[in-house]
């Protein structure tokens, strides 16, 4: 299957700093990528849809100025958590579809801990 790689796999930062997470499609081009957030023992909640070359579409309740998404190429989308706070600590997972409707491929996930 298609491969989606996410980096870093885990990061610890101080409150108030910004953290960037990268999501790459390694063997296919992804015009659309999705960013999910998962709290412990909970489901995956869609944060935003990342569109190559245009602005991301955010889900209701997700602050676009806090979670900056950039999809500058067909293989890379980035999520930047700005001015992170302890409540932003979570597992962030990106996903992409390898052309056409159907299976979503997920990255390994990035565990963010904000101290």
Partner 1 sequence: GENVEQHPSTLSVQEGDSAVIKCTYSDSASNYFPWYKQELGKRPQLIIDIRSNVGEKKDQRIAVTLNKTAKHFSLHITETQPEDSAVYFCAASFTGTSYGKLTFGQGTILTVHP
By CB under 8 A, name the binding residues for partner 1. 31-32, 34, 41-46, 49, 57, 91, 93, 95, 97, 101-104, 106-109, 111
Neighbours of 35 (CB within 10 A): 26
Work out how close the CB of 19 gets to partner 1 at its nearest, in angstroms, rounded to a whole number: 19
Work out how close the CB of 74 gets to partner 1 at its nearest, in angstroms, rounded to a whole number: 13
Q: Could you report how far apart the first and last alpha carbons of the chain are, in Å?
A: 37
- Looking at the Cβ atoms of 28 and 91, the one nearer to partner 1 is 91
Cross-strand partners of 78: 22, 70
CA–CA distance, 29 with 31 (Å, rounded to integer): 6
Work out how close the CB of 91 gets to partner 1 at its nearest, in angstroms, rounded to a whole number: 8
Neighbours of 99 (CB within 10 A): 11
Work out how close the CB of 30 gets to partner 1 at its nearest, in angstroms, rounded to a whole number: 11
- Looking at the Cβ atoms of 49 and 82, the one nearer to partner 1 is 49
- Looking at the Cβ atoms of 9 and 17, the one nearer to partner 1 is 9
Q: How many CA atoms lie within 13 A of 74 on its CB side?
A: 7
């Amino acid at each position: 299957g298609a491969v989606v790689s996410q980096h870093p796999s885990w990061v610890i930062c101080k409150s108030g700093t910004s953290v960037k997470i990268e999501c790459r499609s390694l063997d296919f081009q992804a015009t659309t990528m999705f960013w999910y957030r998962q709290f412990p023992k909970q489901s995956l909640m869609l944060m935003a849809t990342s569109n190559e070359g245009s602005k991301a579409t955010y889900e209701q309740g997700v602050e676009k100025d806090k979670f900056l998404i950039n999809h500058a190429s067909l293989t890379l989308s980035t999520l930047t958590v700005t001015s992170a706070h302890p409540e932003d600590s979570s597992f962030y997972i990106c996903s992409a579809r390898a052309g056409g409707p159907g299976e979503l491929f997920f990255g390994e996930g990035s565990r963010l801990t904000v101290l």
